[in-house]
Amino acid sequence: MTNRICCAVLIMTGVLYAEPARTVADRAFEMLRKDPPVSPDVFDFAVVADTRSLKVDQQSETFKQLIHDFNALKPAFIVDVGDIILGGSADLVPAQWDEFDRVTADLQVPLFPATGNHDVFDEATEKVWTERVGPLTYAFTYGNSRFVILNAEENNVVDRISESQLAWLKDELESHSAQHVFVFIHQPYFARDWDRQWAMVHDVLVKHPVRMVFGGDNHIYRYVGDRDGIHYVISAGGGAEVRVPEDEGGFHHFVLVRVRGDRFDWSVVKPGSILPKDVVTQARIDEIKFARNEWIRTEMVEVPVGEPFDRSVSVAVQAPGDGEIAWTVPAGWHVQPASMKYAIAAPASGITSSPLATFEFDIKADDAAAVKYPVPEFTTTYSNAKHGAAIEVKGRLNLVPSYTVRRAPGPIAVDGDLAEWSNVASIPLPYGWAFDVNDTADHQTSIQLAYDAENLYLAAVVKDDEFHQPYAGDIVWSADNLQLFFRMEDRANAPRVYKHYWEWGLTLTNAGPEVFMYHGVNRESIVVNAAVKLAVKRAGELTHYEAAFPKSEVAPLELSPGATFLFSIASNDLDPSHADRTRHWSELTPGVGDAVPGAPLAKVTLAE
């Protein structure tokens, strides 16, 4: 994407457009001109984001339902804060916008779009956006308010907006007066690293009558809070998949904003219902996160793959409360005692960083073959909640399978010929998602890892009765490919928190091998990465992948003996000629391929 700013301004009392409506934004402006506000001081507007589905050729069923709701509520207009289509390479995008146009043909309310990472991620998809959807960055006036749409998908800009866009924003706010200003940006930088990603923007906004800033992307609703009179809200539940529980904001919705003279307010709307704006507050989220991630901790237990398990495991409680730890134990595992009641009083000295109580459980597997997921899990209740009902908390044996990866026995040429890997240990992917991993006629994958001073190497052999990969770009996971997950600086409690993490897609596309980086450390994300070398060769039912990750791309991981990192991989498989098979995959650890929160990863230790 080129780093440029496009601006289109509609002032309801003046400018008219002579050209016919070409884009989604053009059509919205035309509808506003035909139906100006009855009162400039009294109107409603709606905010929605992440309305895409998981299918290239469809809009989400939730968004289709919301169109009926918008038509019933008749807000003055809607702002869609990005991720409107699933995306992918530029040749796939026009058909998706055709489907969007078809689905929204019955929408009776103007819809103003903002860019999302699924909509725009390179120059080609940016060109489609500007020709089909609207400007990248623009603003308009409606009634007594100004609406500013920012572009979170600029090229060569990592996790923030560019200086040029910030200058445009400053000029835009200084050049127009309004009683209220509302700002929209897909990436909710204000809820991430405030000082690095958003403070400079807030410093500009706070000098003007900015009332609210809306973000998307996270597939949740969250009222992040009020800062210097500016209300920050994430509203990203327009149809895309949700991955967190409802009480953490994981539900489909849109936001309805009401402007009444010098006052404004908002409500959260599910399909068919209206919710109060504090249905999920930052205070409640903080309480839930504490209860589920901090209050009760299970020690991390590393077990080399192939070894038995018979040991005492501690569960530590960090805050007072009464309750019971009750275990659910799958076949092949044993836990004693199966449950334990507790009553923990508050310490006389107040808050402490040390556990208030630690409980020991004897956990054993029948044999080495049984040391795998599913593992024993427990439930308990955090009874001291102050911002809502008591919180159910689930935990598990924090089993971390561990592997030792040795230095490459000699030079490795990345050419898809795996002959030089003959002396490197092979690791099968033991877990299946939506298929039986023992059905080797359908799909089977094994991997090998090695390293030297310059590169971390991966080889994979995939046996598959049907290879299918029509995609490129950020949706390659929708068909046959490998998805890799690296993590560093883990915390010894599930679910884990990481400071450094990477996600890569390794794919044989119609144009050849492609490495797509979804996330990296100090690297531009959601881009094709040319630094990693990849070769893919097919022979009958076998696909050989061979990749070299330079030390620059995995820094700060040090490629030397003793270095450790967490790792997993999913091998995706789509077989369209088999009507009885949905997309499925094998994976090194369960849940990573579906981005399940808290999914376990394996530990890798580099050795000579």
Q: Which two three-digit tokens encode residue 430?
A: 């033991």
How crowded is the C-beta side of 503, counted as CA atoms within 13 Å? 16
Answer for the pair 516, 507: CB distance below 8 angstroms, yes or no: yes
Percentages helix, strand, coil for the chain (3-state, rounded to 5) are 20, 35, 45
Fold of 401-607: Immunoglobulin-like (2.60.40)
Answer for the pair 9, 140: CB distance below 8 angstroms, yes or no: yes
pLDDT, position 16? 36
How crowded is the C-beta side of 249, counted as CA atoms within 13 Å? 28
pTM for this one?
0.82
Rounded distance, CA 552 to CA 153, Å?
24
Q: What is the largest CA-CA distance in the chain?
A: 78
Q: Which amino acid is located at 579 in the chain?
A: A
Rounded distance, CA 243 to CA 112, Å?
27
Contacts of 513 (CB under 8 A, 6+ apart): 506, 507, 534, 535, 536
Fold of 287-396: Immunoglobulin-like (2.60.40)
* Phi and psi at residue 512, to the nearest 5°: 120, -175
Handedness of CA 10, 14, 15, 17 (dihedral sign): positive
Q: Which two three-digit tokens encode residue 292?
A: 């589920």
Q: For residue 603, which of 516, 441, 490, 515 has the smallest C-alpha distance? A: 490
Rounded distance, CA 335 to CA 368, Å?
16
Rounded distance, CA 419 to CA 274, Å?
62
pLDDT, position 355? 84
The label of the residue with tokens 């609210």 reads 212
Residues of the chain with pLDDT under 70: 1-21, 350-353, 489-498
For 9-280, the fitting CATH number among 3.30.200.20, 1.10.1420.10, 3.60.21.10, 3.30.450.20 is: 3.60.21.10
> Which residues of the chain are in CATH 3.60.21.10 domains?
9-280
The label of the residue with tokens 């572009």 reads 151
Please list the residues that pair with 301 across neighbouring strands. Answer: 399
pLDDT, position 9? 39
Could you give the residue ranges of the DSSP H alpha helices within 269-385? 282-289
Rounded distance, CA 483 to CA 476, Å?
9
Q: For residue 114, which of 17, 183, 203, 210 has the smallest C-alpha distance? A: 183
Give the length of the chain: 608
- The tens digit of pLDDT for each residue in 254-310 reads 999 999 999 999 999 998 887 888 889 999 999 999 999 889 999 999 999 999 999
Helices and strands in the chain, H and E counts: 8, 36
pLDDT, position 190? 97
Rounded distance, CA 2 to CA 329, Å?
54
Order across the sheet with 533-539: list the strands: 427-428, 443-451, 455-464, 542-550, 533-539
pLDDT, position 350? 61
Rounded distance, CA 139 to CA 77, Å?
14
